[in-house]
C-alpha cells in the first residue's frame, strides 16, 4: 500500500506500491518504477527468518485478552512511535509492536508476553570501517568504535551489504543483511568479522563499496537503536 502526502495543491509525495507501480525517492528526487516481483530463495537464512516470523505471530494469538489489550494501550504511547517512509511519526498497533520487539529479541528473550520497559540505549560513534583483501581471501572486515563500553544487557547486531557500485551513496535498506551478532560485553573498540561476512556474501571484489550498519538491541525488551552506518572501499594492500 502506498503512503500519500497531500497539500493544498494536491499530492506532493508518494511512497510504497500501488498495483504494479512503486514510488520511491533518491538523491535526484521522486520517481516511479514497475513493482519488482519478489523471489523466495530457499536458502537457510530465508527459511529461518520465515520460521521466526511464524513463531512470533503464533505467540500473539496465544496471549490472553488482557495481555493483548495491554499491548494495544502500550503501543498507543510514545513507546510505540516510529517514523514512516515519509518521515511522519506514527504508532504501531499492539500486534505490530509485539511482533517487532519479539523478532528483535527472538534469540534472547522470546516470548516477551507483556509490554516491556522501554530502555535507554546510549549510542557509540563508529570511527572507521575497513575492508581489506589478502590475495583471493578477505583479510579484514573491521569496525572501529569510539569507545565501546561493555554492556551485557545489549546485543550488537552488524548488518552489511554485498559489494556495491562506487556511485551508490544511499543504499536501500533492503540491501542490508544481518551478518554478525555478539553480546554487548564485547570488551573491545575493534570488531573484525571477515569469516561471518564471507559466509553471508562471499569474498567482495576489489574496488567495490561495502556498507555496514550497527544496531544496538536490548536483550530483555527487543528495543533497538541504529548506532551508525559507514561505508568502505574494498582494498588490496600492496
The full set of domain ranges for the chain reads 3-34, 44-104, 126-233
Question: What is the residue whose three cell numbers read 556474501?
Answer: 201
CA end-to-end distance (rounded Å), the chain: 50
The CA distance from 227 to 150, in Å, is 15
Q: Predicted confidence band at 49 (pLDDT cuts at 50, 70, 90)?
A: confident
Lowest mean pLDDT among 34-43, 91-100, 113-122, 175-184: 34-43
Predicted pLDDT of residue 9: 53
Quick check: 79 pLDDT over 70?
yes
Residues 73-92 have a mean pLDDT of 89
60 vs 186: which has the higher pLDDT = 60
Lowest mean pLDDT among 69-73, 151-155, 158-162: 151-155
**Strands lying side by side in the sheet with 190-192:** 126-134, 137-145, 190-192
- Residue 178: beta bridge partners? 159
Residues 198-212 have a mean pLDDT of 96
Quick check: 13 pLDDT over 80?
no
* ω into 127 cis (within 30 of 0): no
Predicted pLDDT of residue 137: 96
Q: Please give the biggest Cα pair distance in the chain.
A: 64
Residue range 126-233, CATH number: 2.60.40.10
Task: Output the pTM of the full model.
Answer: 0.79
**SS3 at position 94:** helix
Q: What percent of the chain has pLDDT over 70?
A: 81
174 vs 36: which has the higher pLDDT = 174
Predicted pLDDT of residue 22: 60
The CA distance from 212 to 177, in Å, is 9
Find the helix packing angle between 94-104 and 44-61, rounded to 10°. Answer: 140
The CA distance from 126 to 146, in Å, is 6
Amino acid at each position: 500500500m502506498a503512503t500519500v502526502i497531500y497539500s493544498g495543491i494536491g499530492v506532493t509525495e508518494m511512497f510504497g506500491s500501488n498495483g504494479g507501480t512503486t514510488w520511491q525517492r533518491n538523491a535526484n528526487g521522486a520517481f516511479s518504477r514497475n513493482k519488482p516481483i519478489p523471489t523466495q530463495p530457499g536458502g537457510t537464512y530465508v527459511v529461518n527468518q520465515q520460521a521466526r516470523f511464524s513463531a512470533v505471530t503464533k505467540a500473539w494469538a496465544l496471549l490472553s485478552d488482557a495481555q493483548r489489550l495491554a499491548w494495544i494501550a502500550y503501543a498507543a504511547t510514545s513507546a510505540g512511535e516510529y517514523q514512516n517512509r515519509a518521515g511522519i511519526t506514527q504508532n504501531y498497533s499492539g500486534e505490530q509492536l509485539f511482533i517487532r520487539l519479539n523478532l528483535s529479541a527472538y534469540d534472547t528473550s522470546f516470548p516477551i508476553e507483556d509490554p516491556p520497559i522501554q530502555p535507554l540505549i546510549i549510542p557509540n560513534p563508529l570511527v572507521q570501517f575497513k575492508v581489506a583483501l589478502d590475495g583471493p581471501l578477505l583479510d579484514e572486515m573491521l569496525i572501529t568504535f569510539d569507545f565501546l563500553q561493555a554492556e551485557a544487557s545489549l546485543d550488537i547486531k552488524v548488518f552489511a551489504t554485498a559489494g556495491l557500485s562506487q556511485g551508490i551513496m544511499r543504499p536501500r535498506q533492503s540491501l542490508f543483511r544481518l551478518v554478525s551478532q555478539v553480546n554487548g560485553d564485547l570488551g573491545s573498540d575493534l570488531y573484525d568479522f571477515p569469516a561471518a561476512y564471507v559466509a553471508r556474501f562471499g569474498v567482495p571484489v576489489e574496488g567495490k563499496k561495502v556498507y555496514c550498519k550497527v544496531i544496538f538491541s536490548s536483550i530483555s525488551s527487543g528495543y533497538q537503536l541504529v548506532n551508525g552506518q559507514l561505508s568502505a572501499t574494498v582494498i588490496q594492500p600492496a
